[in-house]
Amino acid sequence: MPALDETFAAGNELVRLNGRRIIDEDVKDTDVLLVRSITRVDASLLENSKVRFVGSATIGIDHLDTQWMSANNIQWANAPGCNADAAAQYTLAMMMLACARLNKDFLQQSVGVIGRGNVGSRLVRLLQALGMSVVACDPPLQDMGQADLVSMAEACGQNIVSLHVPLTHDGPCPTQHMFNQQQMSKLPNGTLLVNAARGGIVDAGALFGELANKRLHAALDVWPDEPYVVCELLDQVVVATPHVAGSSVQGKRNGTYMIYQSFRQKFPAETPALDILAPQSPTAGILDFSADHSLQEVLHQLIQASCPVARDDQAIRSLIDRSPGAQRVQIDSLRSHYPRRHEFTSWAFRGVASPIASTLNRLGFISA
């Protein structure tokens, strides 16, 4: 979690721990607990502690028992939208690589987006910037009267179906195993199912069957039993990455800034008023092209430079090679040592034809 020293550490003692190994003994004398999605925060961890505030630098909150915390006067905050641009951009790159491996023209595909929240809405805008056919389904937004959405059936009838909903177990629209055998059987033959949201949204057994008989294809960044990935499922997936879609430099810093702001609002007398606006990211790189390059060629180079999905795919598959005979592999090491990745707005280009430059600018890339 970046930017802790210039935010939460000011005037406080900051102790860093392994997020998956935190136990109740570690936090018994702690006032503030800061986590990411790998740490389960509930009564078993906090009931004998002094914790008054829990901040999760994540979009999702399925790892937090917010009901118990609220009932026990423990303030909490997450960071909705902090890495939404990163996740949407990475999802786009996953789709592109999957289509290339399936010998499909990506720009000619139609896309159905399930969930038009922070990430889904940004993905829709990226696809529209490319002139692609895209529709979105979001039952909670439809119930609120949002008009420009389609039915689940129509969204699932597209060439690519991309999932961007939170993992919920109850309520009017529970999403756990939303894509079970019944729902997946409704997808047309050859559909590419993309999941960069939460692994539990998809029934792994049902998905494996559809992939094994080659009726469907899948590109997965999230997995049902994280941090473990079943090797048989991994082998059937067209594109596989280790839950890193939102892991950009900008997204991580945004998450820390957002939960610090929430902390200040809840405890204003105990926190300094710091100038914690995220600095402008330096240009990660400039790619040179010529007017002869096609949009597809330019997109491939720019998007794979900013979202190196092929590299990440190779990294997760190499875990099997290093553990011959293993039934599952563990992806925590890939996540904790993930290389720095910058979003589209940190990448510049030059030399392309004017119409292509306009498209790239709409995606967020910068003209050098």
Kindly name the residue from 63, 122, 164, 198 that is annotated as catalytic.
198
Terminal CA-CA length for the chain? 31
Q: Among 64, 73, 16, which Cα is nearest to 38's? A: 64
Indicate which residue of 116, 226, 253, 342 is catalytic: 226
Q: What is the DSSP code (8-state) at residue 41?
A: B
The pairing of beta strand 328-330 with beta strand 228-230: antiparallel
Token pair of 110 as six digits: 């139609």
Distance CA 203, CA 146 (A): 29
Query: Is 328 an annotated catalytic residue?
Result: no
Task: Provide the sign of the torsion angle of the four alpha carbons 84, 19, 25, 23, taken in this order.
Answer: positive
Contacts of 259 (CB under 8 A, 6+ apart): 34, 55, 56, 57, 77, 78, 79
Question: Which amino acid, 310?
Answer: A
Query: E strand or H helix at 54, and its extent?
Result: strand 53-56
C-alpha pair distances (Å), 116 with each of 44, 45, 84, 249: 34, 33, 11, 24
242 within 8 A of 199, measured Cβ to Cβ:
no
89 vs 344: CA distance, rounded Å: 8
**Cis amide linkage into residue 279, ω under 30° from 0:** no
Task: Retrieve residue 175's tokens.
Answer: 């999403």
To the query of whether residue 226 is one of the catalytic residues in this protein, the response is: yes
Catalytic residue among 63, 116, 122, 243: 243
Asked if 198 is an active-site residue, the reply is yes
d(CA 118, CA 319): 32
* Active centre residues (catalytic): 198, 226, 243
